[in-house]
Chains A and B, each alone.
Chain A
Amino acid sequence: MTEKYILKKDHLQPFLRKLKKSHQLVAPVQNRHGDTLFTEIDNLDKVHIDLDNQPQNSLKRFFFPQQEVLFTYHNPARDSYYFETVADESAPTLYFGVRPCDMSALLYMDVVFLKNARDPNYLHKRQNNILVGLNCNEPFANCFCNATRNGPFIDFGFDLQLTDLGDRFLVEYDRSRGQEIISSWRQFFAEAAESDVKAQYQAFLEARGKFRLQVHLDQAVKKLAEDEVPESVWEELSMRCQDCGGCAYICPTCTCFTIRDQPISDSDGERVRAWDACTFSGFTLMAGDHNPVDRQMRGIEKRFRHKLQFDVKKDNRPSCVGCGRCVNICFGGTDIVRFINMTCCGNI
């Protein structure tokens, strides 16, 4: 990755219009109620692509939908079942404006869905996409990707990566597909000057100093590994947790799901995969109503141990990407930042 290019901001819209001819486009769009969300764009001229606010959703649902039919089952004569797999028919998609946290989350999902058993639905969606990222010059209010060490700038995982330099973007590529795009649409890209590259370094340096939260994630990881988290922390957080599951649903790396068979008629039905959350008591409920986890005392424990202990043991890195969405959404103040701070600095 040595070559760097310049894309003028004025040329962004025309560039996206070209790519949109062969791809479905997903980008952060501010809707008429003021919320910014990753949204499928039909008409580029009718939406406001918002690169100034953090999208409230991550890319999770585009690759791992909240509800997904895996196959249908049929038993027309009431004697034997036959099954029909539901092929994933999602179109090739361009994801634009992906922040380093969401990009890292996608790489983590690859580990979950592709490393051992390859999940066909996920694989299809993943093979069919272009990722255009955007480095974060201005971290948002609840961001702490500096602590999880996957931001505010990233240098792998994307096809194209943009850095905002005022009136223009500096463009890098990581994979061959990114290089292909640049060579196919050469008219949009000028070679970057040395001053542009210097400007990018400057932006990176400044961005690192702009985080508003101080999160001692490494210390929490260490305390978990050494089993030094006080019992009272689990208790306090579990009792405060309001059991809404919002943290798991909004989290770009929470990938637990439940499977259920949904009857459509007496003879037909479908098997559905749906998001689940380890904080729900039904997540660990066993036959005979036995539950090894007392939700009110330890309900939130699995969530933090998984992200900061088990995944570190398995993959040598925590699976929290520091996007801060759970900080924003949590009712009871039992988000991961609070856990880390309580673990490392007492109750603050």
Chain B
Amino acid sequence: MAGLATTFGSGAMTNSINEIENAQVILVIGSNTSEAHPQVARRMFTAMDRGARLIVIDPRRTLLARRADIHLAIRPGTDIPLLNAMMRVILDENLADDLFIEMRTENFYGLRDMLFRLDLEEAAGICGVDLARIRAAAQLYGRAQKAVICYCLGITQHVCGTSNVQSIANLAMMTGNVEKEDTGVDPLRGQNNVQGACDMGALPNVFPSYQQVDNDDYREKFERAWNVSLPPKPGLTLMQMTHGGKDGQLKAMFIMGENPVLSDPVISKVEETLDNLEFLLVADIFLTETARRAHVVLPAASFAEKTGTFTNSERRVQMVRQVIPPLGQSRTDADIIMDLSARLGYVMDYESPAEIMEEIAMLAPIYGGMHHDRLENSWGLQWPCWDREHDGTPFLHKYYFTRGRGRFVPAVHEPPAELPDDDYPFLLITGRIYHQYHTGTMSRHSPLLSREAGEALLQLHPEDGRRLGLRSGDMVRMRSRRGEVQVKAQLTETVKTGEVYTTFHFSEMPINLLTISAKDHFSQCPEYKVCAVHLEKV
């Protein structure tokens, strides 16, 4: 979010998902697309059928990496030196788009000077990748007329997450691979409506439509609309809230549809924080690990029981329609919020979700033309959609960047907060698998999905397995400086030696007991992707 906002001016996919089919080169970095975003991977396959070349940058040899023309298996957390090396090669080979840089961007000299000081051999050494292969990837990307970069949490969940994103933006701008159809920078969103949540201001520093809370004009606009006075100070970030501990700033929390007891790093700290609240209220469709700790739990309605909109990765706002009325005592999210608000003394009187959407259209300019009647009989509209006459925006930054000129923000390598050492010799990467979703609140209720993937597995290179006397199926005791879990080993060459991979879906093996609380300096996103662990056979 912060990375693209500072370079382009908008933190979202610049393309539509369908445009990926027409790309000539697809660069996938920090994304296991075929498992985590199958609908996007499908477009990549179509593009490859049409002759597109695929570059995958990933420490693991994922299914997508196996299909790639070039797979760069970097050391985790070395994206910046790799991207810088690619940019240096592009400069050296005269593949930079000088006209685009001149017309549309600023601060290129800052980046260029940094790149000229870069030692390519050294950078390749840091990444653990052969320089010749970096060159090949840079040439492939640099020569393409239409090139798309897709990235995901492998980029953002690092202490240097924002700089990682900025480096990706640098690479795209330097080659003129933005502002056009079928060409751009595409962060893939992890949930069906996480884009919508951000758009609606579920971030500490902005109101809906990314209007900053510390801007007096914006704040006054919302104060007039809601008839309340609003604080000009940005709120707390996720980790500031759930890692407050005994002396946290918060006295009460209302958690909706989230399970931080399993999903946030250093679980012991999260538990301590929640247990020390004066009041914890949770609304969810199932009794999650977090809900079990709440003073009051409100049963929420599932997707099939409510009407409204979801906003997906490509900024597309789509209707979701109620099929059945909420079961039992459950109620829709809007219903819960309105009733709660009324009892707290502020009446919210909306007769339908369509009325709420009208208010969104009035206050959030990028949603200005989005009304339920327009969304009802279509596949939705992509923001920005300024007014009723506007057809939505399939790709961003046409003619000029949202922030005016695209800004190059050079970055230098920043190693992960905790790297393997003698005491904790393995590097742990966490992520997701195909058959389960997040903390399993929903997916673990399906017997068939449980049959396909019913327990956590620790991916481990066979050579490491031999050294530790482990075979597939053996139990491993894995500990970090923060905690310890037991997990079943799976020997596979998907991971490199010295690196292990597992998921956070399973409450029996809460991997976030082990992960680190180090976080990105700008976005405060935790570094789930790298921490040091010790393994031994049970």
Tell me the bound Cα distance from A280 to B66 in angstroms: 20
- What chain A residues lie within 8 Å of B448 (beta carbons)? 258, 274, 276, 280, 282
- Nearest CB in chain B: distance from A228 CB, A: 24
- What chain A residues lie within 8 Å of B434 (beta carbons)? 243
- Are the CB atoms of A282 and B451 closer together than 8 Å? yes
- What chain A residues lie within 8 Å of B321 (beta carbons)? 33
Tell me the bound Cα distance from A33 to B472 in angstroms: 48
- A331 in the interface, Cβ–Cβ < 8 Å? yes
- Are the CB atoms of B34 and A242 closer together than 8 Å? yes
- Are the CB atoms of A333 and B49 closer together than 8 Å? yes
- A4 in the interface, Cβ–Cβ < 8 Å? no
- Are the CB atoms of A280 and B46 closer together than 8 Å? no
- Are the CB atoms of B45 and A240 closer together than 8 Å? yes
Partner of B66 from the list A239, A285, A289 (CB cut-off 8 Å) is A239
- What chain B residues lie within 8 Å of A274 (beta carbons)? 447-448
- What chain B residues lie within 8 Å of A276 (beta carbons)? 448
Tell me the bound Cα distance from A282 to B451 in angstroms: 6
- Are the CB atoms of A333 and B473 closer together than 8 Å? no
Tell me the bound Cα distance from A260 to B454 in angstroms: 15
Q: Taking A289-B473, A296-B63 as contacts, is the C-beta distance between A332 and B447 under 8 angstroms?
A: no
- B353 in the interface, Cβ–Cβ < 8 Å? no
- Nearest CB in chain B: distance from A314 CB, A: 27
- What chain A residues lie within 8 Å of B451 (beta carbons)? 258, 280, 282, 285
Partner of A281 from the list B42, B46, B452 (CB cut-off 8 Å) is B452
Closest residue to A277 on the B side, CB-wise?
B448
- B41 in the interface, Cβ–Cβ < 8 Å? yes
- Nearest CB in chain A: distance from B472 CB, A: 7
Closest residue to B319 on the A side, CB-wise?
A33
- A288 in the interface, Cβ–Cβ < 8 Å? yes
Q: Taking A242-B34, A281-B452, A282-B452 as contacts, is the C-beta distance between A331 and B473 under 8 angstroms?
A: no
- Are the CB atoms of A242 and B38 closer together than 8 Å? yes
- Are the CB atoms of B38 and A239 closer together than 8 Å? no
- Are the CB atoms of B66 and A333 closer together than 8 Å? no
In this complex, how many residues of chain B approach chain A with their Cβ under 8 Å: the count is 20
Tell me the bound Cα distance from A282 to B435 in angstroms: 11
Q: Taking A274-B448, A282-B452, A333-B49 as contacts, is the C-beta distance between A239 and B42 under 8 angstroms?
A: no
Tell me the bound Cα distance from A289 to B452 in angstroms: 11
- What chain A residues lie within 8 Å of B42 (beta carbons)? 242, 331-333
Q: Would you list which residues of chain A between 293 and 324 have a CB under 8 Å from chain B?
A: 296
What does DSSP make chain B's interface, helix, strand, loop or mixed? helix
- Nearest CB in chain A: distance from B278 CB, A: 37
Per-position binary interface string of chain A over residues 220-260, scored 1 when its CB falls under 8 Å from any chain B CB and 0 otherwise = 00000000000000000001101110000000000000101
Partner of B63 from the list A239, A281, A333 (CB cut-off 8 Å) is A239
Tell me the bound Cα distance from A281 to B42 in angstroms: 20
- B67 in the interface, Cβ–Cβ < 8 Å? yes
- Are the CB atoms of A288 and B473 closer together than 8 Å? yes
Tell me the bound Cα distance from A31 to B199 in angstroms: 32
- Are the CB atoms of B38 and A331 closer together than 8 Å? yes
Q: Would you list which residues of chain B between 280 and 302 have a CB under 8 Å from chain A?
A: none
- What chain B residues lie within 8 Å of A244 (beta carbons)? 38
- What chain B residues lie within 8 Å of A332 (beta carbons)? 38, 41-42, 45
Q: Would you list which residues of chain B between 31 and 82 have a CB under 8 Å from chain A?
A: 34, 38-39, 41-42, 45-46, 49, 63, 66-67
Partner of B46 from the list A239, A260, A282, A333 (CB cut-off 8 Å) is A333
Tell me the bound Cα distance from A281 to B453 in angstroms: 9
- What chain A residues lie within 8 Å of B472 (beta carbons)? 289
Per-position binary interface string of chain A over residues 309-348, scored 1 when its CB falls under 8 Å from any chain B CB and 0 otherwise = 0000000000000000000000111000000000000000
Tell me the bound Cα distance from A319 to B46 in angstroms: 28
- Nearest CB in chain A: distance from B465 CB, A: 15
Q: Taking A288-B473, A289-B473 as contacts, is the C-beta distance between A280 and B38 under 8 angstroms?
A: no
- Nearest CB in chain B: distance from A272 CB, A: 9
- What chain B residues lie within 8 Å of A331 (beta carbons)? 38-39, 42
Tell me the bound Cα distance from A33 to B435 in angstroms: 29
- Are the CB atoms of B49 and A239 closer together than 8 Å? no
- What chain B residues lie within 8 Å of A288 (beta carbons)? 473
- Are the CB atoms of A260 and B447 closer together than 8 Å? yes
Closest residue to B377 on the A side, CB-wise?
A34
- What chain B residues lie within 8 Å of A33 (beta carbons)? 321
- Nearest CB in chain B: distance from A275 CB, A: 9
Tell me the bound Cα distance from A141 to B39 in angstroms: 22
Q: Taking A244-B38, A289-B473 as contacts, is the C-beta distance between A239 and B452 under 8 angstroms?
A: no
Tell me the bound Cα distance from A239 to B44 in angstroms: 13
- Are the CB atoms of A333 and B452 closer together than 8 Å? no
Q: Would you list which residues of chain B between 200 and 220 have a CB under 8 Å from chain A?
A: none
- Nearest CB in chain B: distance from A281 CB, A: 6
Closest residue to B435 on the A side, CB-wise?
A243
Q: Taking A288-B473, A296-B63 as contacts, is the C-beta distance between A333 and B38 under 8 angstroms?
A: no
Partner of B67 from the list A239, A258, A262, A289 (CB cut-off 8 Å) is A239
Closest residue to B42 on the A side, CB-wise?
A331
Tell me the bound Cα distance from A243 to B321 in angstroms: 27
Closest residue to B457 on the A side, CB-wise?
A289
Tell me the bound Cα distance from A332 to B321 in angstroms: 27
Tell me the bound Cα distance from A332 to B448 in angstroms: 21
- Nearest CB in chain B: distance from A243 CB, A: 6
Per-position binary interface string of chain B over residues 425-453, scored 1 when its CB falls under 8 Å from any chain A CB and 0 otherwise = 00000000011000000000001100110
Per-position binary interface string of chain A over residues 183-201, scored 1 when its CB falls under 8 Å from any chain B CB and 0 otherwise = 0000000000000000000
Tell me the bound Cα distance from A240 to B49 in angstroms: 11
- Are the CB atoms of B447 and A242 closer together than 8 Å? no
Partner of B41 from the list A242, A260, A289 (CB cut-off 8 Å) is A242
Tell me the bound Cα distance from A329 to B451 in angstroms: 23
Tell me the bound Cα distance from A271 to B46 in angstroms: 42
Closest residue to A272 on the B side, CB-wise?
B447
Closest residue to A245 on the B side, CB-wise?
B448
Tell me the bound Cα distance from A239 to B66 in angstroms: 9
- Nearest CB in chain A: distance from B470 CB, A: 14
- Nearest CB in chain A: distance from B208 CB, A: 28
Other contacts beyond A240-B45, A242-B42, A333-B49: 5, CB < 8 A: A242-B38, A260-B447, A274-B448, A288-B473, A333-B42
23 contacting pairs across A/B (C-beta < 8 A): A33-B321, A239-B63, A239-B66, A242-B34, A242-B38, A242-B42, A243-B452, A258-B448, A262-B447, A274-B448, A276-B448, A280-B448, A280-B451, A281-B452, A282-B448, A288-B473, A289-B473, A296-B63, A331-B38, A332-B38, A333-B42, A333-B45, A333-B46
Seen from chain A, the residues whose Cβ lies within 8 Å of a Cβ on chain B are 33, 239-240, 242-244, 258, 260, 262, 274, 276, 280-282, 285, 288-289, 296, 331-333
Closest CB pairs A-B (n = 5): A282-B451, A242-B38, A331-B42, A282-B452, A289-B473
